[in-house]
Amino acid sequence: MKLEVRNCGKQYGEQWALQDVNFTLTHGIYALLGPNGSGKSTLMNILCTLLEKTTGTLLWEDKEISTCENAYLQQLGYMPQTPCMYEDFTLFNFLSYMGVMRGMPKSFLHQRIEEVTKKVELTDALDKKIRAYSGGMKQRAMLCAALLHDPKILILDEPTAELDPLKRILVQKLLMEVSKDKMILIATHVVSDVEFIADQFLILKKGVLIEQGSRLALVKLLDGKVKEVKTTMEEYQSFKQQYAISSIRYEHEQLIARVLDLDDTLEGEVVTANINDVYLHLFGEKYAVL
Amino acid sequence: MFIFIYLVKNMLYFELKKIFTNRRILICMVVLLIGVHLFSGYQSLQQEWTASEYKQLHERLDQLPTQDRMAFLKESFDKSEYHLRVNDTQADVSYYTDTYGLAWMEAIQKQKNEVFFSRQVLKQVEKEEQNRIGYDRFRKGIKKQYALNHKVSIFQKKEDPFVGQRAVKTMDAYETLNITMPASIKGSYGIEQLLSQSYLDIALLLFLVFLFYEYVVREEEHQQLSYMQLTKHGRLAYYMIKIVALWFTCSFFIFLTSFTLWIQESLLYGFVDLSACIQSIPFCMRITKAYSIL
């Protein structure tokens, strides 16, 4: 199972939305990180064959996707950021419809509907109209639709954006569970949602893949450069102009700021970096939380 | 086409479900339906005669032998005309004296409070009756025209070669047509109205535009079309089945409006036998196929 992206680029007029992107996906979870406008959606649309690339090649099992598009699409499960279900359908109707559109046999389809809705805890809402669903329920329903035909490739755009903490954990656990025999690409800017479940991170900035690697490899970039500094609110106000601060908290009435000290000029306790720090380092520059 | 529909019947089921569970489409359908009925009702009110008068006249005609109907209509027309002149001392009534006699005139003078059929309704019913009894005459007229043109064309080929050809074609078209006109064409005005109104076409056009927007354009806007493209049947078959669903829904709308209008018109002007030949309706008299009204 291998999906290869080689020198992939997309140009809109004079503007390059994506430039010379290279990576290979095998099984496991991949997190695609980047701020708005970094080219995440463009890349996902190209991977889903919804958008024509300007340059490069896409290979599925070493074959150009355009030559085996039907076979590739049969293996693809896609969950767009915005739920695009039919509001007047019940979830059962919608999933049955998706099954029919995917050419699934009826008996297998009913069995799969039962399985996937159970996994995302929507079994009780199967006969409820989608119009009456909350944002989080709609997202879980879309995840059901993506998983319905048991695809090998899962492309998920912000799958946890509208979920409450419990349901986020549920979805994270589910993705971990199914990732054993699938490749899952998750685009998000909620770094904490993917930090501990993703095997690899792909970081896009202005259409260019600036970093890729495992969590450990990425946090190594900031080895010894993340410090927790005890400060006061008055000091913090001037402090935040000079340093990138990823978080602040109060401990025993003492303000503690988590700072990226790239030049090693600050006194403070060195702590282990996380993906949030890496993200801030790559995109935030001297951005402060307050 | 039907093989294709059979193969993708499950898809068609869901496509139709999308349409018939869409509140906005259903509301549009109901609004247009009400609009069509109100417009049709308004048109009936605009007429110079009432539907009950029309029905009453037909009831009277039904009691008469078919050969007496035209005479009855003519007499009713004359009664109506004469009644208008009763108080006019200057009017020339010699025609009535000669045709019906003084007793008839006196009887009408005494019926001052009786409501006579209006001239317009009498003309309408007369047209229907003429159509029924005149159909054979109409067919014979075609034969005669054919014979005449055929004759003329031998000597005047150079003047108008198309006249002869047209007569032959018309003759051919009617030659095989074997239909029997019904004895009564009671209430065909309702059907006539139904078939001749352009507001039905306008309603259908409005419905089609709205349906296309709701069913296709909105799906595109909500990225449902592109989402479906990722499925096995999400491309050519999907678009084709959408066209079939549009056609089916429009047909249903036409059926619904026509059927309910037929009920409305029939309640007003009387129920007509839908299995009668289409030529029973005056303006369909020239149709060269053996269709029934239905």
Task: Give this complex's ipTM.
Answer: 0.84
Q: Does B239 touch chain A (CB under 8 A)?
A: no
Q: What percent of chain B lies above the pLDDT cut of 70?
A: 67
Which of B227, B236, B242 to probe by mutation at the A interface, max A CB count within 10 Å?
Answer: B227
Q: Do A80 and B11 touch (CB under 8 A)?
A: no
How close A74 gets to chain B, by Cα (Å)?
Answer: 7
Spell out a b/e string for A228-244, using b for 16 or more CB atoms within 10 Å of the CB, else e.
bbebeeeebeebbeebb
Q: Of B97, B117, B115, whose CA–CA distance to B105 is shortest?
A: B97
- Per-residue pLDDT reduced to its tens digit, A87-136: 999 999 999 999 999 999 988 999 999 999 999 999 999 999 999 999 99
Instruction: Please report residues of A whose CB lies closer than 8 A to that of B224.
Output: 84, 86
* Residue-level pLDDT at B1: 65
Chain-centre distance for alpha carbon B267 = 15
Q: Does B223 touch chain A (CB under 8 A)?
A: yes
User: Is the CB of residue B250 less than 8 Å from the CB of residue B204?
Assistant: yes
| Residue A123 in tokens | 């079994």
CATH code for the domain defined by A3-219: 3.40.50.300
Q: Which residue of A has its CA nearest to B238?
A: A101
Q: Of A60, A58, A44, whose CA–CA distance to A7 is shortest?
A: A58
Q: Which residue of B has its CA nearest to A74?
A: B232
Which stretches of chain A score pLDDT less than 70?
285-290
* Residue A32 neighbours by CB under 8 Å, 6+ apart: A40, A43, A44, A185, A186, A187, A188, A202, A204
Q: Which residue's entry shows tokens 């909620």? A: A190
- Per-residue pLDDT reduced to its tens digit, B157-207: 555 566 666 666 666 666 666 666 655 556 667 777 777 777 888 999 999
User: Which residues of A have a CB under 8 Å from any CB of B?
Assistant: 48-50, 70, 73-74, 76, 78, 80, 82, 84, 86, 88-89, 93, 96-98, 100-103
Q: Which residue's entry shows tokens 């003084």? A: B102
Name residue A260's beta-bridge partners. Answer: A226, A244
Q: Does B16 touch chain A (CB under 8 A)?
A: no
Instruction: Please report residues of A whose CB lies closer than 8 A to that of B227.
Output: 78, 80, 84
* Residue-level pLDDT at A289: 47
Q: Where along chain A do its domains lie?
A: 3-219, 224-272
Spell out a b/e string for A76-95, using b for 16 or more CB atoms within 10 Å of the CB, else e.
bbbbbbebbbbbbbbbbbbb
Q: How far apart, in whole angstroms, are the C-alpha atoms of residue B272 and residue B108?
A: 33
| Reduced 3-state DSSP string for A48-70 | CCCCCCCEEEEEECCEEHHHCHH
Q: Do B223 and A80 touch (CB under 8 A)?
A: yes
